[in-house]
Structure 1
């Protein structure tokens, strides 16, 4: 296992100050919005955490400045803090394993956080893994849903999920108890798992596909609600902790990002989904069914105010970091295509504010 370095965080006196949008050149200061802090602060996704940490270390080493403070709070937790307000008491960067939601964007605006820059840094796959000593799994998406959904169709309605083993879900699966350690609802990994695995699996069932056509909100409520009877265990935002749990509990499975699989292949293995294993190639070309994009969101007004923020953002999209063969690829990040990577480098230079998300 490759341990991730945790950054030392010095206590600093933080003062809440006003923020105004930068006008003209990207380096124009936005007032004293981050003047109470002498380092970049990034918070959010546990999946993006090791990548952001590595960038922070590299920037500090090459510039001689303070390493960015990076916190793993989950995507939802990161956006909540990022959008909480302006000034030194709030992060400069939100790390995210899904796009920002309209509700989060609106909360930012309500608290004076405007001119947000969205930068895609690469791709990741969500894996379902177990200990190397455990049985091999090849799930179909509907089997994942039927094993983990809180309720399943029964007649004209729904009933509580009573499956105890994966073999009860489908005779072709191993006779292993359904016990899955995964991220909590605040996690972008959980959001993506719900959308990419649970929703797609639910649509394979005729009753839920029909519900989707009639009432999408009701469908999402059924598709996203995971069992609360102990078959699924919210294991916190630390994906490394889930990996460690699997090594101690070989009859369990875990849900986490591909980068954590790649860094722990000596102890855990991933299930196939629809016959496809999560690999660099299958995630980058989109054939692995549970793949997603990773992002950082930047407060444009803090660029030129928070020391090192421009350098941090530029380093994140550099060829050396997120380009093909870059040092973040060595940590499990799946790089963008050359064209998309070039576009993100332009976004980091121009710092054009994103449009409001549709939903």
Structure 2
């Protein structure tokens, strides 16, 4: 009797170990911008292979990286989607928690659209004007100091702009779109203004933020609207004065409801983004936890499918969702990295 109980216990333990050490369903987290593309590939995998459809969660790029880098066990995500490249500090967090074998996959381009309700007359805004609209601190009239942002209307910034209230629905701090917007707009504009850079030179320890100024105002003008970009679209249709910040793919999906502003007189389109003429363009990625490859057999099939011409090629499925394709040589190199499980290094991120 004791033998039987012991045998049953051993079998139960073995079954539990098997359950914990392997699974069929892939776990994916990360960028809301990459989410529609990742979900489409997930559905294709579920429909065309023996594997179940992967679980894809829209947590924001930063939130996804925290989950992805939290450890290497099978309770952690296999993949993290990202609308900007992994940061040095995220790579180091991964290493600290035992995630030491990562492959980086670049899938295509995306532009950050500045959009409004399609029923309202659109206008052109420069990157500098856009930065001044959302920054927490802006130059004083004499340009010699920084003051709390006083701008309430676009015409307060420049008389040629509409006399229209500044209301901006945008992504939260956990979002890769927010990171990219801060870098491509605020930092790019303010790093050329002495009023910011001189503060850093005067006291590097106390004023590190002025080296690459990207602090967004918190006085109610910029309204964090979560990781679901479709909610921003809905808010724009209800507030004709507002503009919203989200990935180009959401502009493409909702072109019957919203329209993109021209930035520096350039309209966001597939051609202007892929040619880098559009001023706010960036690349999109996903990151693979290679330590999970053996225990999650679907992982290799999913990543190879994602990087296939069927998905990210010139006439790929994902172009219908707004993906802007990479040049063929870049695409082929990116595919080879994934197929060979090339290990990402910290030096490559610098």
TM-score (norm 1): 0.87
Q: Structure 1, residues 112-150: CA drift from partner, whole Å, max 9, x if none?
A: 111100010011000110001123121111101111111
Task: Give, in whole Å, the separation in 2 of the partners of 1:178 and 1:204.
Answer: 24
Task: Give, in whole Å, the separation in 1 of the partners of 2:200 and 2:128.
Answer: 15
Tell me, yes or no, if the aligned pair for 2:107 and 2:285 is still in contact at 8 Å. Answer: yes
Q: 1:191 to 1:118 in 2, by over 3 A?
A: same
Equivalent of 2:210 in 216, 219, 223: 219
- The 5-angstrom pairing of residues 127-276 of structure 1 reads 127-154=113-140, 156-203=144-191, 205-208=193-196, 210=198, 217-220=208-211, 223-276=213-266
- The 5-angstrom pairing of residues 114-125 of structure 1 reads 114-125=100-111
Q: Structure 1: any 5+ residue segments left out of the alignment?
A: 1-30
How far does residue 220 in structure 1 lie from its aligned partner after superposition? Answer: 4.5
Partner of residue 93, structure 1: 79
Partner of residue 7, structure 1: none
How far does residue 191 in structure 1 lie from its aligned partner after superposition? Answer: 0.1
Partner of residue 316, structure 2: 326
Say which SS state the counterpart of residue 181 (structure 1) adopts. Answer: strand
How far does residue 301 in structure 1 lie from its aligned partner after superposition? Answer: 1.5
Q: Structure 2: any 5+ residue segments left out of the alignment?
A: 1-16
How far does residue 211 in structure 1 lie from its aligned partner after superposition? Answer: 5.1
Tell me, yes or no, if the aligned pair for 1:33 and 1:88 is still in contact at 8 Å. Answer: no
Equivalent of 1:47 in 33, 36, 49: 33
Query: 2:291 aligned with 1:291, yes or no?
Result: no
Task: Give, in whole Å, the separation in 2 of the partners of 1:34 and 1:347.
Answer: 29
Task: Give, in whole Å, the separation in 1 of the partners of 2:178 and 2:209.
Answer: 19
Give the alignment's Cα RMSD to 1 decimal.
1.9
Tell me, yes or no, if the aligned pair for 2:24 and 2:51 is still in contact at 8 Å. Answer: no
Say which SS state the counterpart of residue 164 (structure 1) adopts. Answer: coil
Tell me, yes or no, if the aligned pair for 2:72 and 2:291 is still in contact at 8 Å. Answer: no
Task: Give, in whole Å, the separation in 1 of the partners of 2:275 and 2:127.
Answer: 19
Equivalent of 2:24 in 3, 14, 38: 38
How far does residue 204 in structure 1 lie from its aligned partner after superposition? Answer: 5.0
Task: Give, in whole Å, the separation in 2 of the partners of 1:285 and 1:304.
Answer: 39
Query: 2:296 aligned with 1:302, yes or no?
Result: no
Q: Structure 1, residues 283-307: CA drift from partner, whole Å, max 9, x if none?
A: 1011111000100100111113213
Task: Give, in whole Å, the separation in 1 of the partners of 2:67 and 2:325.
Answer: 27
Q: 1:131 to 1:332 in 2, by over 3 A?
A: same
Q: After the TM superposition, which of the residue ranges 208-217 and 241-250 deviates more from structure 2?
A: 208-217
Task: Give, in whole Å, the separation in 1 of the partners of 2:217 and 2:341.
Answer: 42
Q: Structure 1, residues 238-292: CA drift from partner, whole Å, max 9, x if none?
A: 0011011111111111000000000000000001111101100011011111000
Task: Give, in whole Å, the separation in 2 of the partners of 1:193 and 1:33.
Answer: 42
Tell me, yes or no, if the aligned pair for 2:22 and 2:295 is still in contact at 8 Å. Answer: no
Partner of residue 343, structure 2: 353
Task: Give, in whole Å, the separation in 2 of the partners of 1:107 and 1:314.
Answer: 26
How far does residue 218 in structure 1 lie from its aligned partner after superposition? Answer: 3.2
Tell me, yes or no, if the aligned pair for 1:135 and 1:174 is still in contact at 8 Å. Answer: no
Highest CA radius of gyration, 1 or 2?
2
Tell me, yes or no, if the aligned pair for 2:196 and 2:211 is still in contact at 8 Å. Answer: no
